[in-house]
Amino acid sequence: MTELSFIHRYEPATETGRPPLLLLHGTGGDENDLLGLGRMISPGAALLSPRGKILENGMPRFFRRLAEGVFDEEDVKLRAGELADFVAQARQAYGLEAPVAVGFSNGANIAAAMMMLRPEALTGAALLRAMVPLSEAPQADLAGKRVLMISGAMDPIIPAENSAQLAASLSAFGAEVQHQVLPTGHGLSQTDLQLLVRWFGGR
């Protein structure tokens, strides 16, 4: 593990032609959480998986929140910049092209914030159970970037209109957004996995 600005796991690519994946865990996860998912959805891709630096009741996260669903937006901006800087460091250290983010819950929210604040850091993103990260979305040029958003119709944490608003914002900035709403809650399902495999296979 190279000494970079985030504790992380890195697995080098074993196949050519697949973009690296930046794996971003949910609240209480760590750098090991999504490695298995990454291997399943894009076999052979390089995997870069950092651990969030914020602790909430001992659980790692990527940014602070004031209450469930209420984000500390100044911290979101700070942490999105910090994570984008880490991606730049890791690209240099490991010889990587710009990655596609795969984020769940809190990890999906920081990935969405990175898309808006530091669009050069990512070539695209798969956002699983994401919310609007910033009430005032900064204008970003996301032309040519692909985004898969998967939401749960019965998600108790994220109102349907919130995820729809995020999808609309990313589309308005030029991203090619595919937004799927599944008849599920906040946790991931087999259908999420199938959609991810198909989306990465179609790259």
Residues that are catalytic: 105, 155, 186
Please report which residue ranges of 20-173 form alpha helices under DSSP H.
35-41, 73-94, 106-117, 160-172
Sheet containing 47-50, strands listed edge to edge, beginning at the edge strand earlier in sequence: 8-11, 47-50, 21-24, 100-104, 124-128, 146-152, 176-182
In angstroms, how far is CA 191 from the centroid of its own chain? Answer: 18
Determine the angle formed by the axes of helices 106-117 and 73-94, rounding to 10 degrees.
80
Write down the number of H helices and E strands in the chain: 5, 11
